[in-house]
């Protein structure tokens, strides 16, 4: 494909950076530092998306992605995951871009890439959604996590203030369709960290407006965002932990997922260490090890996807520590 066409494709399909501004979205602004953090995350996501749109191959995109600072590189890989999924889903984009991306350095960022695929699903017609059987059987629920984040981020009134829940999506059609709402809620919980401007007390207040049966997944997502994106000081993380109440082990589970994602990608940063210390009561390496040790082997119990079994086993480990988190 001529370079001029790839450049045009990037310009046509990449959303404008103003769409990631807190003022544009109407999100809470806690302070200048948190606003700059969240807007940099959004800008970097779009940068990664653009690299995928313009690259001749995923390997070429990787060269650009690897130049992005450590703190934000995972978000660029997430954006690239969306970009390559869009190319796979569009008539002129071809097929296999995501597979090739994950066969390279994208594999280290597989969690973020899968979340990016969910962003693409939110913008593609349903008949162009990815083939579930081509995705990892354990991790593919992260795609719906990404979908949920997108919907809450761009349709905040409906999904957050109106508490809309998608329960009848035709994906995945043959793998525990009753779990769809749970996976999407985990993404909505992550988005609440952005919508609330990283202000833990406000995030918890928004979560507590949802029905009780949804709060565990929402708190899990918020804990993941607090550990991966950051933006909160120690006292704020303590507030998130305490406000979670009986859902504190799910906050710890989300934080442990964040630690695992950053360590796997070689992107560990100080705010992840702070979060796991407070929300998990351990170092990022120890929290990531909990996720490794809990990873299910063999068939999951009837009625539950292996992914949910995994999350519950992790949460149970933290519950056994007395609810997780250090005093």
**pLDDT per position as a tens digit, 46-67:** 999 999 989 989 999 999 999 9
**Which pair of tokens denotes residue 102?**
């994950």
Residue 91: partners with Cβ closer than 8 Å, 6 or more residues away = none
Q: Within a 10 A sphere around the Cβ of 119, how many other Cβ atoms?
A: 27
For residues 247 and 67, what is the distance between their CA atoms, to the nearest angstrom? 38
The whole-model pTM stands at 0.94
Per-residue pLDDT tens over the stretch 276-306 = 999 999 999 999 999 999 998 876 677 889 9
**Which pair of tokens denotes residue 32?**
């200048």
If we measure between CA atoms, which residue out of 184, 150, 179 comes closest to residue 165? Answer: 184
If we measure between CA atoms, which residue out of 104, 127, 109, 129 comes closest to residue 119? Answer: 129
Instruction: Give mean pLDDT, residues 91-116.
Output: 92
**Which pair of tokens denotes residue 261?**
């994602």
CA-based torsion, 210, 314, 82, 265: positive or negative? positive
**Which pair of tokens denotes residue 153?**
């981020």
Asked whether the beta carbons of 48 and 76 are under 8 A apart, the reply is: yes
**Which pair of tokens denotes residue 297?**
């082997």
Q: Within a 10 A sphere around the Cβ of 296, how many other Cβ atoms?
A: 17
Asked whether the beta carbons of 289 and 316 are under 8 A apart, the reply is: no
Percent of the chain with pLDDT over 90: 79
If we measure between CA atoms, which residue out of 19, 20, 21, 22 comes closest to residue 197? Answer: 22
- Count the alpha carbons within 13 Å of 74 in the hemisphere toward its beta carbon: 25
Residue 92 pLDDT greater than 80, yes or no:
no
How many residues belong to the chain?
327
- Count the alpha carbons within 13 Å of 285 in the hemisphere toward its beta carbon: 1
Residue 327 pLDDT greater than 50, yes or no:
no
**Biggest CA pair distance of the chain:** 59
CA-based torsion, 116, 268, 195, 139: positive or negative? positive
Instruction: List the single range of 156-165, 178-187, 196-205, 300-309 with lowest mean pLDDT.
Output: 300-309
Per-residue pLDDT tens over the stretch 154-178 = 999 999 999 999 877 888 878 898 9
Q: Regarding predicted confidence, which is higher, 302 or 253?
A: 253
Asked whether the beta carbons of 192 and 203 are under 8 A apart, the reply is: yes
Q: Does residue 218 have a cis peptide bond before it, meaning omega lies within 30 degrees of 0?
A: no
Asked whether the beta carbons of 145 and 184 are under 8 A apart, the reply is: yes
Residue 188: partners with Cβ closer than 8 Å, 6 or more residues away = 148, 149, 151, 152, 159, 160, 218, 221
Residue 150 pLDDT greater than 50, yes or no:
yes
Name the 3-class secondary structure at 277. Answer: helix
Look up residue 106 and give its DSSP letter.
G
């Amino acid at each position: 494909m001529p370079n001029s066409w790839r450049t045009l494709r990037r310009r046509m399909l990449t959303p404008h950076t103003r769409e990631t501004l807190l003022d544009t979205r109407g999100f809470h602004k806690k302070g200048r530092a948190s606003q700059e953090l969240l807007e940099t995350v959004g800008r970097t996501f779009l940068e990664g998306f653009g690299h995928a749109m313009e690259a001749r191959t995923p390997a070429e995109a990787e060269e650009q992605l690897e130049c992005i600072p450590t703190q934000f590189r995972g978000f660029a890989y997430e954006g690239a995951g969306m970009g390559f999924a869009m190319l796979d889903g569009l008539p002129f984009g071809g097929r296999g871009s995501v597979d090739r991306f994950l066969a390279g350095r994208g594999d280290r960022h597989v969690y973020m890439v899968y979340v990016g695929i969910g962003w693409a699903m939110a913008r593609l017609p349903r008949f162009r959604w990815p083939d579930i059987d081509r995705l990892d059987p354990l991790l593919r629920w992260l795609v719906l996590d990404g979908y949920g984040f997108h919907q809450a981020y761009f349709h905040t009134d409906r999904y957050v203030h109106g508490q809309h829940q998608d329960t009848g999506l035709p994906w995945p059609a043959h793998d525990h369709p009753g779990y769809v709402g749970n996976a999407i809620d985990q993404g909505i919980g992550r988005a609440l960290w952005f919508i609330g401007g990283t202000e833990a007390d406000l995030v918890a207040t928004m979560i507590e407006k949802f029905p009780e049966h949804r709060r565990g997944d929402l708190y899990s997502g918020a804990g993941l965002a607090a550990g991966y994106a950051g933006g909160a000081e120690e006292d704020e993380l303590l507030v998130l932990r305490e406000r979670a109440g009986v859902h504190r082990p799910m906050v710890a589970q989300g934080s442990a997922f964040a630690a695992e994602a950053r360590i796997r990608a070689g992107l560990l940063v100080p705010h992840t260490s702070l979060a796991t210390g407070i929300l998990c009561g351990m170092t990022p390496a120890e929290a990531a090890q909990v996720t490794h040790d809990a990873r299910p082997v063999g068939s999951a119990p009837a009625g539950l996807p292996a992914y949910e079994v995994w999350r519950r086993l992790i949460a149970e480990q933290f519950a056994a520590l007395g609810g997780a988190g250090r005093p």
